[in-house]
Amino acid sequence: MTLSAENQNKLKDIKSILYGMEIDYERGNIDHGLDKIKTDIPLIDLHHQELLELVITIFKMLDSSKLNENKLKSLLEDLIVYSLEHFAYEEKLMQDAEYPDINKHKHQHNNFNLKLNCFLSELNAKVELYDYAIRLNLWLVEWYSSEILHNDRKMALFLKRKRIKLYAVAGGIGICLVAILLIFIYRKT
């Protein structure tokens, strides 16, 4: 299959964004421990791995010119379901930690869901499959790269710092209680 110059460029862009995330797409699966995309929140890292594997499956169909409309539709539906689950988890963590950028982050999640549903409706209508899939894949890798490398890592850093502060406060309270107890015992004897 001969690709138009525009699609060749989009394919190159997708590869370079994946490369920027240090994802070795040729291996087929993503190493959960990849430093570049790691947030150190295990469930978030696992979700990202699963979501990116779906995106890479679309990319591999494009790269090998083996596009299948039914398979593409089922991948898109999986992405919608998994993304909802993932966003709900992130939003709960942000809410519990009183993350100051929660509204901005939630807004980005909502926009993503809306756009992904638009892509699904578009697929249900008549589309030129290769052009459609490459546009979808480029948008997905751009979105995940920005979401994971910037927004999620920033959020994860805040959550970690907040947790460290909470541990420090709890440690301080513990020390005070032990001191009071020791004073109490000392006075009794």
Residues near Fe ion, by CB under 5 A: 152
C-beta separation of 90 from 155 below 8 A:
yes
Residue (10 or 105) nearer to Fe ion, CB = 105
Where does residue 50 rank: exposed (0-12), middle (13-18), buried (19+ CB within 10 A)?
middle
Shortest distance (Å) from residue 58 CB to Fe ion: 18
Residue (77 or 85) nearer to Fe ion, CB = 85
Shortest distance (Å) from residue 22 CB to Fe ion: 17
Shortest distance (Å) from residue 48 CB to Fe ion: 6
Residue (67 or 93) nearer to Fe ion, CB = 93
C-beta separation of 151 from 108 below 8 A:
yes
Residue (94 or 123) nearer to Fe ion, CB = 94
**Plot region of 72 (φ>0 → left; ψ -120 to 50 → alpha; else → beta):** alpha
Shortest distance (Å) from residue 90 CB to Fe ion: 5
CA distance linking residue 181 with residue 188, whole number of Å: 11
CA distance linking residue 180 with residue 124, whole number of Å: 69
Type of residue at 118: C
Which residue's CB comes closest to Fe ion? 152
